[in-house]
């Protein structure tokens, strides 16, 4: 049976104390302090306990024999870079501290070694445990920060690539419709400025609300100019929160980028229709629909790209229901609906 890691805010403690009932005594005392603790043995059970990734290891002098030292060393060698497992060693008063410290520092290089002489006061011992549980918590927070930073870098890289793809497509669309360098320059700059307005409208809104029509218009405007509408949109006046407007703008940006690369906007006659409506049967509910027409024959991809995953995840989180994404041969479609209150500042729902 595979071991399942224990989930705990402040982690848990593994106690290795084979002499008399020391393990039971230490475990009972720590549980009185609301510390999660397990007692281990020097057999196959120890391997299983270490596989559960204890946050702290407490080991007595009597447990420091080669088999246990070797198994803990193997466990420490498998730890990731962010992990420095605190190991509290409880020694007898007459123990040769310098020699033991040297041997353990060699055997357990990936640990945070702390030595204490028995008997140790209960208050001192619990302070040591709690302070090192906090150390372990900080280590995990550093890990989470590093993982989040990596995720943000990947997301930023993806966003930059999509923005550059949009800029390139805007240039190609502009070039096909102009006859002079002057008009190409003017139209191209104008479309880039219109694309920039999306960020201005959403991220730098004066208040906390914005019209949904403004979000859609600013997102679509780089592709609609000179009386030619590649992206049509219609719907009633709906005021959404700044956060919801940001999410919708980013999702539309993903859909437009996909349409430029593979869908309706990759053909000169292709178009996109965006429509939203409010229903009041049990709601009010808001529905938002994206339909592509006049593009190439659509084939469902063999794997889901980042953009599609983002749209699914973001719209589900915003509307409270998964979007319906259809790779119809006649044109890609995406539709989603949910409570209007979820995308306005009146949303007071709580999540557990």
Q: Are 198 and 338 contained in the same domain?
A: yes
Q: How many domains does the chain have?
A: 2
Residue 161, domain member (yes or no): no
DSSP one-letter code for 5:
P
Same domain, yes or no: 322 and 201? yes
Residue 295 near residue 264 (C-beta atoms within 8 A)? yes
Specify whether 201 is located in the same domain as 329. Answer: yes
Per DSSP, the three-state class of 257 is: helix
Q: Are strands 13-16 and 37-39 parallel, antiparallel or unpaired?
A: parallel
**Pair (228, 129) in one structural domain:** no
52 and 127: one domain?
yes
> Is 349 domain-assigned?
no
Using the 3D structure, point to which of 113, 144, 175 is the last residue of a domain. Answer: 144
- Please state, rounded to an integer, the average pLDDT across all residues of the chain: 84
Separation between Cα atoms, residue 190 and residue 174, nearest integer Å: 10
- Report whether pLDDT(287) > 90: yes
- pLDDT band of 164, cuts 50, 70, 90: confident
Q: Taking CA 315 as the corner, what is the angle to CA 198 and CA 343, rounded to the nearest 5 degrees?
A: 70
* Whole-number pLDDT of residue 313: 87
DSSP symbol at 247: H
High-pLDDT (> 90) share of the chain, %? 34
Residue with tokens 């006049």: 294
Per DSSP, the chain holds a count of helices (H) and strands (E) of: 9, 14
In a domain, 60, yes or no: yes
For residue 69, tell me if it sits in a domain.
Answer: yes
First to last CA, the chain: 31
**Assigned domain for 184 exists:** no
User: Residue 224: inside a domain, yes or no?
Assistant: yes
The CA distance from 98 to 154, in Å, is 47
pLDDT at residue 231 above 80? Answer: yes
Q: Are strands 239-241 and 209-211 parallel, antiparallel or unpaired?
A: antiparallel
Which of the residue ranges 148-157, 222-231, 233-242 would you say has the lowest mean pLDDT? 222-231
The parent domain of residue 82 ranges over 13-144
Pair 205, 321 in one domain: yes
- What pLDDT does 1 receive? 39
Higher pLDDT: 347 or 129? It is 129
Nearest CA to 324 among 294, 274, 286, 287?
Answer: 287
Q: Are residues 229 and 335 in the same domain?
A: yes
- Tokens representing residue 320 in the block: 């409270």
Residues 210 and 322 in one domain: yes
Assign residue 268 the CATH number of its domain.
Answer: 3.30.565.10
Mean of pLDDT values over 11-29: 87
Mean pLDDT for 15-44 is: 84
Query: Rounded to an integer, what distance in angstroms lies between the CA atom of residue 32 and that of residue 15?
Result: 15
CB of 158 within 8 A of CB of 306? yes
Secondary structure class of 272 (helix, strand, coil): strand
In a domain, 2, yes or no: no
Q: Where is the domain boundary, 144, 167, 202?
A: 144
Separation of alpha carbons 141 and 139, rounded Å: 5
124 and 218, same domain (yes or no): no
Domain boundary among 87, 116, 144: 144
pLDDT-wise least confident of 29-38, 110-119, 277-286, 287-296: 277-286
Same domain, 339 and 197: yes
Q: Is residue 151 part of a domain?
A: no
For residue 166, cis peptide bond before it (omega within 30 degrees of 0): no
- The answer on 231 and 307 residing in a single domain is yes
Report the CATH number that the domain containing residue 84 is assigned in CATH: 3.40.50.2300
Tokens standing for 310?
Answer: 């983002």
C-alpha–C-alpha distance, residues 195 and 169, integer Å: 12
Q: 261: helix, coil or strand?
A: helix
Same domain, 74 and 203: no
The two three-digit tokens of residue 233, written as one number = 């949109």
Closest CA to 12 of 86, 68, 84, 78: 86
Task: Tell me the pLDDT band of 289, cut-offs 50, 70 and 90.
Answer: very high
Q: What are phi and psi of 333, to 5 degrees?
A: -135, 145
């Amino acid at each position: 049976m595979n071991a399942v890691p224990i989930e705990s805010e402040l982690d848990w403690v593994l106690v290795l104390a084979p002499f008399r009932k020391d393990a039971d005594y230490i475990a009972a005392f720590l549980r009185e302090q609301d510390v999660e603790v397990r007692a281990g043995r020097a057999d196959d059970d120890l391997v299983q306990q270490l596989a559960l990734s204890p946050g702290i290891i407490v080991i007595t002098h009597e447990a420091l024999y080669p088999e246990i030292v070797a198994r803990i060393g193997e466990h420490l060698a498998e730890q990731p870079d962010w992990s420095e497992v605190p190991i509290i060693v409880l020694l007898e008063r007459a123990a040769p501290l310098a020699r033991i410290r040297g041997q353990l520092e060699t055997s357990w290089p990936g640990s945070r070694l702390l030595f204490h002489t028995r008997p140790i006061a209960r208050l001192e011992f619990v302070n040591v445990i709690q302070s090192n549980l906090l150390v372990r918590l900080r280590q995990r927070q550093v890990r989470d920060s590093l993982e989040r930073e990596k995720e943000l870098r990947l997301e930023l890289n993806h966003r930059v690539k999509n923005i550059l793809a949009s800029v390139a497509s805007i240039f190609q669309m502009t070039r096909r419709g102009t006859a002079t360098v002057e008009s190409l320059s003017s139209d191209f700059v104008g479309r880039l400025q219109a694309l920039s307005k999306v960020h201005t409208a959403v991220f730098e809104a004066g208040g906390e609300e914005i019209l949904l029509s403004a979000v859609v218009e600013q997102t679509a405007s780089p592709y609609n100019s000179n009386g030619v509408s590649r992206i049509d949109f219609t719907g009633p006046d709906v005021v959404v929160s700044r956060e919801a407007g940001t999410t919708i703008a980013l999702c539309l940006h993903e859909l437009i980028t996909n349409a430029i690369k593979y869908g309706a906007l990759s053909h000169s006659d292709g178009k996109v229709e965006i429509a939203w409506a409010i229903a009041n049967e049990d709601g009010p509910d808001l529905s938002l629909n994206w339909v592509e027409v006049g593009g190439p024959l659509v084939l469902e991809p063999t794997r889901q790209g980042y953009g599609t995953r983002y749209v699914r995840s973001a719209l589900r989180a915003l509307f409270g229901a998964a979007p319906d994404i259809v790779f119809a041969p006649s044109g890609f479609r995406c539709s989603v609906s949910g409570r209007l209150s979820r995308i306005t500042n009146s949303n007071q729902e709580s999540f557990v």
